[in-house]
Amino acid sequence: MVEGGGVTSEEGVVSMLTGKMQEALTGQLIAEMYSAYLYLSMSSYFESLNLPGFASWMRVQRLEELVHALKFFDYIVEAGGRVLLGPIDGPPTEWDGALGAFEAALAHEKKVTGLINDLVEVARAEGDSATEEFLKWYIDEQVEEEESAEEVVSKIKAAGDDLGALDAELAQRS
C-alpha cells in the first residue's frame, strides 16, 4: 500500500486503486463475462425452440455484456491496476419456455444492478471518487438493461402462444 491507498506492484507501478477496489472491479468484470455466457446459453436454448429471432437477440445481448466486461478491464489497466482473472461459473442451459428465459434474464439484470450498487458502496468506502464517477455509466446502463428485458417479457405475455411475429421483430436487433 502507498499513500492514498493505492497498490504498488512488483514492477513498482503505483495503482490509483486500492487492493479492495481492484478486487471488486475484477469481480464485476468476471460477472459481466458470466452475463455474456448466460445469454449465449439462452441463445442456444432459443435455437432449440426454433426461435431464431430470440436467439439472435440474445447473441446481440452477449456482445453488450462483453463490452461491459472490457470497460472494466480497460479501467483497471488505465488506473495502473492488474487484472487477475478467475473462473466463470457455468450458466443454466434450460428454462421454462421463452417467457421463463426472459423472466430469468430480467431477474439476472436486477441482480447485476445490485452488484453495481454494491461496487459504488465499495468505491465510497475506499474514498475512490474516480471509480465512483466511472460507475455512473453502469448505473445508467442498468436502467436500460432492465427496461429492455422487461419490454420483451411484456411482449411475450401479450403474444401468448404465437411467437412468430415477435421472433421476427427481435431478429431486427443489431
Q: Which residues bind ligand FEO (CB under 6 A)?
A: 32, 35, 65, 68, 109, 112, 145
Strand, helix or coil at 8?
strand
Nearer to ligand FEO, 105 or 156 (CB): 105
**Given the complex with ligand FEO, which of 51 and 58 has the nearer CB atom?**
58
Q: How far is the CB of 138 from ligand FEO (least distance, A)?
A: 8
Phi, psi of 14 (to 5 degrees): -90, 125
Those residues with Cβ within 8 angstroms of residue 151's Cβ, 6 or more apart along the chain or in another chain: none
Q: What are phi and psi of 8, to 5 degrees?
A: -100, 125
Helix (H, G, I), strand (E, B) or coil at 14: strand
**Least distance to ligand FEO from the beta carbon of 32, Å?**
5
Query: Smaller CB distance to ligand FEO: residue 35 or 131?
Result: 35
- φ, ψ for residue 95 (rounded to 5)? -135, 175
Rounded to the nearest whole angstrom, what is the least distance from the CB of residue 161 to ligand FEO in the complex? 28
Which residues lie closer than 8 Å to 79 by C-beta, 6 or more apart? 15, 16, 17, 22, 130, 131
Which residue, 6 or 138, is less far from ligand FEO as judged by CB? 138
Residue nearest to ligand FEO (CB): 68
Minimal distance, residue 36 CB to ligand FEO, in Å:
8
